[in-house]
Amino acid sequence: MVASGVSSATGRCWGDAQQDKHPKTGPGALVCRRVPVAVHGRTVGHGPDHPARKERGASPPAGGVPRADQSMNPAEFTETMAQLATGVSVVTVQDDRDDIGSTVSAFTSISAEPPIVMVSVIQSSYLCDVIDFQERFAVNVLDARHRAIAGRFAAEGRPSARLLLANEPHSRGEHSGALVLDTAIAALECTVTRRIEAGDHVVYLASVENLPHVGGLTVDASPLIRYGGKYRSLG
């Protein structure tokens, strides 16, 4: 087996990598460029002009895997993903002019040490613009009692988050300044560490800076979930 890379001791490329000069990094700079090499009489590794680099999915494996250039019906994909039950949360952000919020179901933990979470937001939404600017937000995890709140924060043309929570006990997060629902199952205050554009959404990776004290899950309540395009209770 042949490996490749740059030797930390010599600064030279080795294996199936080729040493080269890079015009942007100045004379003497090293850039490793993969080139084909022979291993046991066979050529392995693709050069920059290899067809596999120019046209991905040109030779799909057996089993009917779709080619990369084939279109998929978005409605069919959405219906398929609706069969995955997810928790429901409200993401809130303190804007310079107002408080912004939106219901999300694409929220999950990524790492425990350090604590990192992921949330996905529609790229064309105002919430996305505000998160980009503020780089901080709060997440309020809802239970079945908050079905109406989830609906309010998902409605088109909704007013300020302050108005949507006017009749609900709430406070401001110490770290983010965003609105925190006092009766939420759980709440997190987060700082964006990475922004990834993914199709019509933006995925944010964020470090968890604070866990505000909220009501938690009571005996007579259950988590709010979304399944089959509808809000449901667990249990």
- Distant-in-sequence, close-in-space partners of 97: CB < 8 Å, separation ≥ 6: none
Task: Say whether the peptide bond before residue 114 is cis (omega within 30 degrees of 0).
Answer: yes
Instruction: Please write the tens of the pLDDT for every residue from 139-173.
Output: 999 999 999 999 999 998 899 999 999 999 999 99
Please name each of the domains of the chain with its CATH number.
Answer: 4-52 (no CATH), 77-230 (2.30.110.10)
Amino acid identity for residue 208 in this structure: V
Q: Return d(Cα 46, Cα 235) in angstroms, integer.
A: 53
Are residues 139 and 107 in contact, defined by beta-carbon separation less than 8 angstroms?
Answer: yes
pLDDT of the residue at 228: 83
DSSP H or E run through 37: strand 37-39
pLDDT digit string (tens) for 170-208? 999 999 999 999 999 999 999 999 999 998 899 999 999
Mean pLDDT, the chain, whole residue set: 78
| Angle (nearest 5°) at CA 59 between 53 and 62 | 140
Structure confidence by residue, pLDDT tens digits, 82-118: 777 789 999 999 988 889 999 999 999 999 999 999 9
**Looking at residue 116, what is its pLDDT?**
98
Residue 136 has pLDDT above 60, yes or no: yes
Q: Which of 110, 187, 85 lies closest to 146 in space, CA to CA? A: 187
**pTM recorded for the entire structure:** 0.67
